[in-house]
A and B are shown apart, each in its own frame.
Chain A
Amino acid sequence: GAGVSQSPSNKVTEKGKDVELRCDPISGHTALYWYRQSLGQGLEFLIYFQGNSAPDKSGLPSDRFSAERTGGSVSTLTIQRTQQEDSAVYLCASSLGDINTGELFFGEGSRLTVL
């Protein structure tokens, strides 16, 4: 596709359930980022994938959060045993890569609501 695609766009779940969020980056982009943004708050970095390198997981808030990127393209962010504080918009972004670029293209986000 022409842009970064995320699914689902909205997800409502019950506390304690697991959720999976998907990101399909722009074709050819080697770098992929996951961010979280709560209402009225700034961007919170979660995880960064660059090519075949080991991902930078330093932003994951707890071991309930994990992410993978298969074949250097599609990425899945998994949140296990969701809590109410996990409610936020989860944003995926991709870029052409190289550590010197900050020119990110964002998807429309997945809004997660944990009841």
Chain B
Amino acid sequence: QKEVEQNSGPLSVPEGAIASLNCTYSDRGSQSFFWYRQYSGKSPELIMSIYSNGDKEDGRFTAQLNKASQYVSLLIRDSQPSDSATYLCAVRTGNNRKLIWGLGTSLAVNP
């Protein structure tokens, strides 16, 4: 089992819909969770961090963390074509404190 897993996609949603991106992790002791967005040909940029169970909202983005089930998700409300990118999940593990990256989910928002 990979340490951080994401569906590669592509996930295709119509403009205005909710996009739901999921990430699972294997280290139960993980403490910190991050979502990065990477546009094609560009570098990753941090969009959300979450450290506690529950939801964290920032504008159209909501991160959800469930440590018991070992998953973290990112919801994008009112999706826009400009949200089309690859979304990377990163987890700070508990055992060796390394930052482990998923391979990313490609999101396409269709006008």
Q: Name the segment of A16-24, A68-76, A78-86, A100-108 touching the other chain.
A: A100-108
* CA A14 to CA B87, docked complex, whole Å: 34
A25 within 8 A of B: no
Contacts of B42 in A (CB 8 A): 108
Smallest CB separation, B38 vs chain A (Å) = 9
Q: Restricting to B21-69, which residues have a CB under 8 Å from any CB of A?
A: 31-34, 36, 42-46, 49
The dominant DSSP class at the B interface is strand
Are A106 and B92 in touch, CB under 8 angstroms? no
The A/B interface has a contact count, at CB < 8 Å, of 47
What interface size band does chain B fall in? 20 to 34
Give chain A's interface residue range (CB within 8 Å of chain B).
10 to 19
User: Would you call B43 and A91 a contact (CB within 8 A)?
Assistant: yes
B:88-105 near A, CB below 8 Å: 88, 90-92, 97-99, 101-104
- How many whole Å from A60's CB to the nearest CB in chain B? 15
- Cross-chain contact B103 with A102 (CB below 8 angstroms): no
Which residues A34-69 have CB closer than 8 A to chain B?
Answer: 41-43, 45, 56
Given contacts A42-B104, A100-B31, could you give 7 more A-B pairs where the C-beta distance is less than 8 Å?
Answer: A56-B98, A100-B32, A101-B32, A101-B92, A102-B33, A102-B34, A106-B43
A: which residues have CB within 8 A of B? 33, 41-43, 45, 56, 91, 99-109
